[in-house]
Amino acid sequence: MCPEKSNLQAAILNYLHSRHRIIRWREWLSGHRYRLAPLSDRSRPLYVIAYRVGDKGRAAEAARAIEQDWIEVPTRCREVYDEILFRAPQLVVIQLHRKNVCGCLGHRHVAVRETPFAMPHDAFGGEHAGEMDIAYQQVLTWQALPLSDTALDAKFLQGSRLEDFHAKQFRLRLLSIILHETNHLVFPNEPETSIRERSLNFYRDALAAYTENAIATLSFTLDRSFSRLK
C-alpha cells in the first residue's frame, strides 16, 4: 500500500478517536462501527464502511470485495473505472443497511449523513466526502443477470466449491453496486442506463473470469488425483 494511502487511513482513525469521549461512547453503545477499505491499486477513493455491530460479518465481506476481489478481477474490467475513480472524492462513506424500505439495492446520497464526515476536515484532505447506502439482504437475493448466473451456478458441484462460488458472487455483486453508486457520485448527470450497463458488464466479466479460473483449477486438481490412482 502506498504511504499516502496509509497516512490517510491513519489520519482518519486518529480523527475518529480524537472526538469527544461522550460522542465516542454514545456511538459505541449504540452499536455503530466504522471500517476502512482502500482500493489497493488506486489513490482514491478510500471507502469507510458504516455498519451496526450485528452486521460485522457483512461489513467484512464488503471490505474484502473492495480490498481483495477488486484487484483480482481482469485488468480490462478495472480500467473501465479509471476516470471515475480518479475523479471520485478522497473519502466515500458506505452506509451498510440490511434492507431499504423502497426495495432499492443502493442509493447515492446528495448530502453526507454520517456525522463525522458531514463536513470537510483536514483528516481527509479538506475535501467533501461522498456517501451511498447499500442494502445487503436485497443484494443477496438480487438476480443481477439471471441467465448467466444460473448457467455459471450449474458449473459447480454441491458442497464447499458451490459455497465458495456463492460467497464470491455476493461480494462481486456488492462491488459492482459500490462502483455503480461511485459512478453516480462522480457523474450525477450520466443516464442511469449507461451507469447500469457499465456496472453489470463489470459484474458479468468479473464473475465469468473467476468461474473460468476456478473450473480450470478444479479440473487440474481432479486430473492430478486421477494420475495418482494409476
> How would residue 2 be classed by pLDDT, with cut points 50, 70 and 90?
low
pTM score over 0.85: yes
The continuous run of DSSP H or E covering 212 comes out as: helix 192-229
According to DSSP, the residues that pair with 92 across neighbouring strands are 47, 130
- Read off the C-alpha cell for 204: 458479468
Residue 26 confidence (pLDDT) = 92
Tell whether the model's pLDDT for residue 223 goes beyond 90. Answer: no
User: For 108-118, what is each residue's pLDDT tens digit?
Assistant: 999 999 999 99
Torsions phi, psi of 112, nearest 5? -75, 130
> Regarding predicted confidence, which is higher, 157 or 12?
12
Does position 155 have pLDDT exceeding 80, yes or no? no
| Statement: residue 159 has pLDDT above 80 | no
Residue 13 identity (one-letter amino acid) = L
**Using 50, 70 and 90 to split pLDDT, how confident is the model at 224?**
very low
Among 171, 208, 194, CA closest to 70: 171
Q: For CA atoms 143, 144, 146, 152, give the dihedral sign.
A: negative
Q: What is the DSSP string of 90-153?
A: SEEEEEEES--TT--SEEEESS--SGGGSS--GGGTTPPPEEEEEEHHHHHH--SSHHHHHHHH
Percent above pLDDT 90 for the chain: 62
Cα maximum dimension of the chain: 69
What is the band of 150 on the pLDDT scale with cuts at 50, 70, 90?
A: low
Domain boundaries, the chain: 3-229
Cβ contacts of residue 201 below 8 Å, gap of 6+? 80
Report whether pLDDT(219) > 70.
no
**pLDDT number for residue 154:** 60
Mean pLDDT of the chain: 86
Q: How confident is the model at residue 171 (pLDDT cuts 50, 70, 90)?
A: very high
The whole-number pLDDT of residue 101 equals 85
Q: What is the pLDDT of residues 3-57, one digit of tens each?
A: 466 788 999 999 999 999 999 999 999 999 999 999 988 988 999 999 999 999 9
Among residues 57, 75, 92, 35, which one has the least CA distance to residue 167?
Answer: 57
Does residue 130 carry a pLDDT above 80? yes
Confidence (pLDDT) at 228: 42
Whether 61 shows a pLDDT value over 90: the answer reads yes
